[in-house]
Structure 1
Amino acid sequence: MWRDADFRRLWASQTASQLGEHASLVVLPLFAVLTLHADAGQLGVLRAVGQAPILLLSLFVGAWVDRWRTRTVLVLTDAGRALILGGAAAAGLCGWLVLPALFPVAFAVGALSVFFDVAYQTSLVRLVRRDQLVRGNSALEGSRSAAQIGGPALGGALVSWLSAPVAVASSALFFALSFVSARRIRRSESLPERSGTPPRLWRRIRDGLRFVVKEPSLRTVCLASAAFQLSFSATMTGYLLFLPRELHLSGTVIGLALAATGPGALLGAMLAARLPQRIGYGPALISAAVLGDGVFLCVPALHASSAVTVPALLAINFVFGLGGQLVNVTLMAVRQAATPHDMQARAAATINLIGMGMTPLGSLLGGLLAQQWGLRTSLLATAAAMLASPVLIALSPLPRLGRTFPQSS
């Protein structure tokens, strides 16, 4: 698989894109909190605005991408994100980058990221054989792990040491590099046949929804993802406030703490290529979900004066990354294997909508709870709610999966 030049180009494009995305996910909130003194409600709204395109656009994107070449989508979205963040960086250097200006930037980047994420998942299915999906996903998720190491650390350090505009410019540069790599993909994709008049957009969306709802494994993925994303997004809103205001950590330390997710996720991606085939997909999935989601319950117990606070944060983020990545790779392989070729983008978009569509609601909820209950109490409540996801998985047929995953009809 690694001998395939186009797969390597897809991997390089996705790696650079994920670096830009993870850097921007830290840069914009930290800039709002540390420089513009945004409160919990404003931070929740900012994060929700950036996540809203998932809820608004996913179904349309899936129906559209299924009928077009993914290389074109990757190239255009990378170019758009590079230009938007480059413009924001230039505005910041001129002293114009204020809190209200961050909202349209976050929304536009989020919208283009929806297109990119659906396209690169669909592109993998068109580039590799079905029996290579687990290894292909493991490689791509491993690159995302590397981005989780470098992105937050780089973003936090640049905000702390230099300025927010420079940090924003770094994300734009990564998207530009992703653009260059995506343009070099040469393989002609095998698109689904277009017989006669193409179905109307709403019919294609309806068919994608119906397929996911009727397929038991995909239905479980949707419900578990929705529960996780709602509670995790709420947790992260409180978390990004808890670290600087309760634990009094600098932007650099926060970036490094968040970056610890990356090594854990890298190990999780490596395990995902082998562990499910040894102990079964079901046991690997449920144990990783409980481990990764449950570890966040340790965060509210930390205090600023403790000498173990920073090492504990590093360990918590490492374990969360390990468990979360093992779950991500396993579920993605199950979803891709259980989905027909001509339904891949719509299935991915539907699952993104139902799962990731909960993130803006979670961000708003996290900000509201932090204002009403205080940071420590709200963080404990939202972290406990993350365990709803492994409970839903445990009640489904997924834990009974053996060493092979379902095949599409």
Structure 2
Amino acid sequence: MVDTDERALAGGDADARPARGPLRRRLGLLDQHDFRQLYLADTISQLGAQVTLLALPLVAVLALHATTFEVGALTACETAAFLFVGLPAGAWVDRMRRRNVLIAGDLGRAVLLGSIPIAWWLHWLTVEQLFVVALLAGVCTVFFDVAYQSYLPHLVGRENLIEGNAKLESVRAVNQIGGPAVAGLIVQAFTAPFAIAVNGLSYLGSALFVTRIRRRESRPERKPDAHLGREIMEGLRFVLGNRMLRSIAACTGSSNLFSAIGAAMLVLLLARILGLPPWQIGLFSSVPAIGGLLGAFTATRIARWLGQGPAIWIAPLVSAPFALLMPMAQRGILLWLAAIGNGIWWYGVVVYNVAQVSFRQGLCPERLLGRMNATMRFLVWGTMPVGGLLGGLLGETLGVRPAMWIGAIGGLFCFLPVFLSPLRWMRELPTHEPDPVPEGAPAA
């Protein structure tokens, strides 16, 4: 659109255990040192990511004069890794310490993105290099995201997942407000490759904060008969064998498909058809994120008011029609009405994500968290490169606005899988209960 049962850490000390009971302090989870480091790392990383999200296609459009199809293909490359390595990444992450995976993912993206301004300065930059960097950085993102969602329950405990996800979604929303505006100003003042260099530095900062997390995971035990293929299939069976998870995958995957069609054409609409300067494109891209911020602040309350199950389908049902304003954007009032409509749509996306991700993390056993998250990412993000390519093809053959209309209209029906599932009326969703400790085993 946006995981270990660590309630018992055998042999751990008091500081190594997640928070229990109601949160009594005003800051909530931010009062915990380890969650605060993850929060700060995510803040810096998300800011840089928002800068690149706008700057990378602007490099293609303004510096390299890429075609409509090339811009769509570049959008596809950014998420293609979820399709190619998404499933094995989950099995690999379940074999490793997740904190180490987060650090490696940040460092890898810093190096890859740093190559773009260097090549541009040496006059070697090509569209093909952008494709390669987008693909490889996407691989790093696959591992980072799978580890990140699987690491959160270890830090905060399953009982605090909704609050933890809501706080991290608020970081994403704030950066979506400020990031594009900052990117537009940097591109306007210094050029798009310089803006990408800023993002490379942000990933280094993110890695630094992750290294400050004190709590250490024990290395996952690997069974003698462990087999990558069987482990991948176990994650697939867990997701596809659960009707509620299947419906969430269908809803999110179809939504990502249609939104990727429109997203692939958005920069072309703003930069070429409407002729907006980079700073105004950045401002336009920031306005909708206000809706995401409001969604992050109110998601917990809405889930409590509607019920967690109904919130999962009502949010996309109500918000999706406002995305129809995007293909109608013109200079003047229609431009900012489109931005506001996109903000309402994004509000629904964040409410939906907080509710469904928290449900997934709470339902899944600890040993399957990496594979469950990787399987879901494969199913729901794997549609995005397809959408990016479709957007490029449709834009090349039918035009930019018709392609955006197809994406916006298709998004109206994405709520149906969760609406037609048991989630429809379930105010309280099931969670995984930890396996009982065998008699005679050491207490946590």
Pairing 1:228–2:255 present = yes
Aligned pairs for 1:2-401 within 5 A: 2-189=30-217, 192-194=220-222, 196-304=223-331, 307-401=332-426
Q: Tell me which residue corresponds to 2:13.
A: none
Q: 1:221 is matched by which residue type in structure 2?
A: I
Q: Distance in 2 between matches of 1:261 and 1:95?
A: 35
TM-score, structure 2 length as denominator? Answer: 0.88
More deviation in 372-381 or 344-353?
372-381
- Is the CA contact (8 Å cut-off) linking 1:222 and 1:354 kept in structure 2? yes
For residues 137-160 of structure 1, the C-alpha deviation after alignment (integer angstroms, 9 at most, x for no partner) is 111111111221222222222222
User: Offset at 1:53?
Assistant: 0.5
User: Offset at 1:192?
Assistant: 5.0
RMSD: 1.5
Q: Distance in 2 between matches of 1:114 and 1:384?
A: 29
Q: Distance in 1 between matches of 2:301 and 2:378?
A: 29
Q: 2:202 is matched by which residue type in structure 1?
A: F
Q: 1:256 is matched by which residue type in structure 2?
A: L
- Is the CA contact (8 Å cut-off) linking 2:98 and 2:147 kept in structure 1? yes
- Is the CA contact (8 Å cut-off) linking 1:20 and 1:172 kept in structure 2? yes
Q: Distance in 1 between matches of 2:220 and 2:360?
A: 18
Q: Distance in 2 between matches of 1:190 and 1:337?
A: 21
- Is the CA contact (8 Å cut-off) linking 1:54 and 1:352 kept in structure 2? yes
- Is the CA contact (8 Å cut-off) linking 1:232 and 1:386 kept in structure 2? yes
Q: 1:288 is matched by which residue type in structure 2?
A: A
Q: Distance in 2 between matches of 1:378 and 1:146?
A: 29
Q: Distance in 1 between matches of 2:33 and 2:225?
A: 33
User: Offset at 1:387?
Assistant: 1.8
- Is the CA contact (8 Å cut-off) linking 2:244 and 2:418 kept in structure 1? no
- Is the CA contact (8 Å cut-off) linking 2:75 and 2:388 kept in structure 1? yes
Q: 2:95 is matched by which residue type in structure 1?
A: R
Q: 2:402 is matched by which residue type in structure 1?
A: T
- Is the CA contact (8 Å cut-off) linking 1:30 and 1:156 kept in structure 2? no
For residues 13-52 of structure 1, the C-alpha deviation after alignment (integer angstroms, 9 at most, x for no partner) is 1222222222212111111112222121111111112211
For residues 326-375 of structure 1, the C-alpha deviation after alignment (integer angstroms, 9 at most, x for no partner) is 11111101111111111111111000001100111100001111122112
- Is the CA contact (8 Å cut-off) linking 2:96 and 2:220 kept in structure 1? no
For residues 162-191 of structure 1, the C-alpha deviation after alignment (integer angstroms, 9 at most, x for no partner) is 112211111101101101101111102256
Q: Distance in 2 between matches of 1:303 and 1:20?
A: 29
Q: 2:101 is matched by which residue type in structure 1?
A: V
Q: Distance in 2 between matches of 1:87 and 1:57?
A: 23
Q: Distance in 1 between matches of 2:292 and 2:341?
A: 12
User: Offset at 1:311?
Assistant: 2.1
Report the identity percentage.
Answer: 37
User: Offset at 1:255?
Assistant: 1.4
User: Offset at 1:193?
Assistant: 4.4
- Is the CA contact (8 Å cut-off) linking 1:14 and 1:120 kept in structure 2? no
- Is the CA contact (8 Å cut-off) linking 1:41 and 1:367 kept in structure 2? yes
The alignment partner of 1:156 has SS state of: helix
More deviation in 355-364 or 368-377?
368-377
Q: Distance in 1 between matches of 2:344 and 2:211?
A: 36
The alignment partner of 1:386 has SS state of: helix
- Is the CA contact (8 Å cut-off) linking 1:70 and 1:122 kept in structure 2? yes
Pairing 1:407–2:442 present = no
